[in-house]
Amino acid sequence: MKTEAFQIDGGDAGKRLDVFLAGRFPSSSRALCRDTVLAGNVSVNGTPCRNKGYKLRVGDVVSAEGLLEVEDNRVRPDDTVQPDIVFQDDALIAVNKPAGIPVQPLSCTERGTLMNGLVARFPELARIGDTPLMAGALHRIDIWTSGLVLAARTPESFDAMRRQFAERAVVKTYLALVEGIVEAPGTLRHELAHDPTVPYCRMVDAATLAHPDRRMTAVTEYRPLKQTGNWTLLEVEIRTGVTHQIRCQLALNGTPIAGDALYGKARLDTTRHFLHAAAVRFRHPFTGRDCRIEAPPAPDFNGFFS
pLDDT the model gives residue 35: 84
Distance CA 202, CA 200 (A): 6
> Which is catalytic among the residues 18, 142, 159, 260?
142
Radius of gyration of the chain (CA): 23
pLDDT the model gives residue 103: 97
pLDDT, one tens digit per residue, over 119-172 is: 999 999 999 998 889 999 999 999 999 999 999 999 999 999 999 999 999 999
The residues of the chain scoring below 70 in pLDDT are: 1-3, 266-267, 269, 305-306
CA angle 134, 139, 142 (to 5 degrees): 95
Name all domains of the chain by residue range, CATH numbers in brackets: 2-72 (3.10.290.10), 74-167 (3.30.2350.10), 170-273 (3.30.2350.10)
pLDDT the model gives residue 45: 95
**Short-list 124, 128, 127, 131, CA closest to 107:** 131
Q: Which helix (H) or strand (E) holds 80?
A: none
pLDDT the model gives residue 1: 54
Task: List, in order, residues 6 or more apart from 230 with CB less than 8 Å away.
Answer: 179, 180, 181
pLDDT the model gives residue 2: 53
Catalytic status, residue 142: yes
Q: Looking at residue 105, what DSSP letter applies?
A: -
Q: What are phi and psi of 239, to 5 degrees?
A: -115, -25
The amino acid occupying position 249 is Q
pLDDT the model gives residue 226: 94
Alpha-carbon dihedral 125, 131, 133, 138, rounded to 10 degrees: -60
